[in-house]
Amino acid sequence: MIKRAALLGLLPMLLVLFSCSGIPERETSSASMPFHPDGADAEPGRASVDSRSFGFFPSPPELTIESVFETYKVLGDHADILLYQDNVPWTDFVDGPDGDSQRIEELTNLRTLAIREGLEPFYVVDPLNGLNRREFRGLPDGWEAAFGNPRIQRAYKNYVLRLLREFRPRYLGLASEINTYADAHPDDFPNFLALYTEVYDAVKAESPETQVFVTFQWEDLNNLWPQPDEPDYVPGTIKWNQIEDFEPRLDLWVISSYPYIVFDSAAAIPEDYFTPLLTKTRKPLAVAEGGWISKDFKHLKADPDDQIGYLQAIDDQIGHRLAFWIYLLIRDIDIGSYAGIIESRDLETLEFFTTVGLIDGDGTPKPALAEWDRIRLAVGDADIGDSRKTGD
């Protein structure tokens, strides 16, 4: 059983490709990215139906310039937002937030392209390896891999502040699926909590309107992945403490979810699978990552209708409380295109997600794309009286 599911390690390669593409820069500012607060009449913790944002990771099916441009064009037709989940360029920011950094230049170029397609960038700073949550990504030689390391603390905080000052994002994540790191490194996790508190306060001091969060892996939070080394492992028992440890410094509760790892079909997702979130917090919710494969892979069974069931499960159970919803891929990826630049062990993990996209690799829309568009474009028809949507 894998510990982690995502394409988070792909962004640096995409950035390198894009930075070489010769796109002319255009003057942009945070003013072009308007803040859309919930309506004044919205009840506490409820996202207005017409203010919800829907989007994807911008990972292209192939690592080519043509594929990048085509992906952004397609995203412009089916999304409002993009999530850039980026690792920390450690050496660039260990001494301060204001130095030169190629990573910032690359993100600036990508932001320009996103805005031209009518897409708003969100950001998550991810110090860990997105395909193996037990380890950091890209640490310089000789750096201790722990959040208690002062150099890691400085570089992480400085990079967050630089992103904030450059882009003034509406939403800013400070870690991805951090509960999986808490499982793997319980002794170091308190060091991250202390660092998060410090960085959260620094962000709010400069930009009170920016909504700050970390994300939590929902299947792992529910103890649905075997954890034989955890003495308190009880399948199906939600580890709420791993979220509550961050309170009150969470502006919204954000999860990722790949239920196909634990359920044989989308029809097997319990009707109350996501609903415990509704009664545990009155804050807005969000999905920052997730999806369902459309083809069988190894021991996992799937078909395109499962993708529809997955989307409907989230929308039916917690859709009315979502501030934003990120689906992993708009289009399936060609694993061969990434084979030369990802370590073999990570490539094996990545293969579990190659058919998560809502469009086939050849460009043919899957049935779930129409359902995604229907949910995204639906305005004002949320039935608050529905028994599946109670608990506020």
Judge whether 137 lies within some domain: yes
CA atoms within 13 A on the CB side of 383: 6
Report the chain's terminal Cα–Cα distance, integer Å.
35
Cα–Cα dist 125/173, whole Å: 6
- What does the pLDDT read at residue 18? 40
Residue pair 321/382 in contact by the 8 Å Cβ criterion = no
The amino acid occupying position 264 is D
Backbone φ and ψ for 30, nearest 5 degrees, come out as -65, -20
Query: pLDDT band for position 120 (50/70/90)?
Result: very high
Judge whether 87 lies within some domain: yes
Judge whether 389 lies within some domain: no
Report the number of distinct structural domains present in the chain. 1
Residue pair 305/266 in contact by the 8 Å Cβ criterion = yes
Q: Which residue would you say has higher pLDDT here, 5 or 284?
A: 284
Judge whether 199 lies within some domain: yes
Mapped onto helix, strand or coil, the DSSP state of residue 282 is coil
Judge whether 33 lies within some domain: no
Domain that holds residue 123: 8-21+44-383
Mapped onto helix, strand or coil, the DSSP state of residue 22 is coil
- What does the pLDDT read at residue 309? 98
Which residues does 303 contact at the CB level (< 8 Å), separation at least 6?
Answer: 294, 295
Judge whether 148 lies within some domain: yes
Q: Which residue would you say has higher pLDDT here, 230 or 299?
A: 299
Residue pair 174/199 in contact by the 8 Å Cβ criterion = yes
What proportion of the chain, given as a percentage, has pLDDT over 70? 79
Judge whether 209 lies within some domain: yes
Among 170-184, 233-247, 329-343, the least confident range: 329-343
Biggest CA–CA distance in the chain, Å, is: 57
Residue 193 has pLDDT above 70, yes or no: yes
Structure token pair of residue 364: 């043919």
Residue pair 62/10 in contact by the 8 Å Cβ criterion = no
Work out the average pLDDT over 275-281. 98
Query: pLDDT band for position 301 (50/70/90)?
Result: confident
Query: pLDDT band for position 379 (50/70/90)?
Result: low
Work out the average pLDDT over 145-161. 98
At 343-368, the pLDDT tens digits run 666 777 778 888 999 999 999 999 99
Sign of CA dihedral 286, 288, 294, 295: negative
- What does the pLDDT read at residue 41? 35
Residue 284 has pLDDT above 60, yes or no: yes
Closest among 42, 107, 37, 11 to 329, alpha carbons compared: 11
Q: Do the bridges between strand 132-136 and strand 128-129 make them parallel or antiparallel, or are there none, so unpaired?
A: antiparallel
Mean pLDDT estimate for the chain: 84
Q: Which residue would you say has higher pLDDT here, 32 or 213?
A: 213
Judge whether 62 lies within some domain: yes
Residue pair 121/169 in contact by the 8 Å Cβ criterion = yes
Q: Beta-strand (E) ranges in the chain?
A: 53-56, 81-86, 120-125, 128-129, 132-136, 171-173, 211-213, 215-217, 253-257, 285-290, 322-327
Query: pLDDT band for position 34 (50/70/90)?
Result: very low
- For the beta carbon of residue 264, count every other beta carbon within 10 angstroms: 12
Task: Specify the DSSP element, H or E, that contains 274.
Answer: none
Mapped onto helix, strand or coil, the DSSP state of residue 85 is strand
Residue 112 has pLDDT above 80, yes or no: yes
The amino acid occupying position 113 is L
- CATH code of residue 379: 3.20.20.80
Q: What is the separation of C-alpha 63 from the centre of its chain, rounded to a whole number of angstroms?
A: 20
Closest among 124, 114, 119 to 68, alpha carbons compared: 114
The amino acid occupying position 93 is F
Closest among 276, 252, 67 to 172, alpha carbons compared: 252
Work out the average pLDDT over 308-336. 96
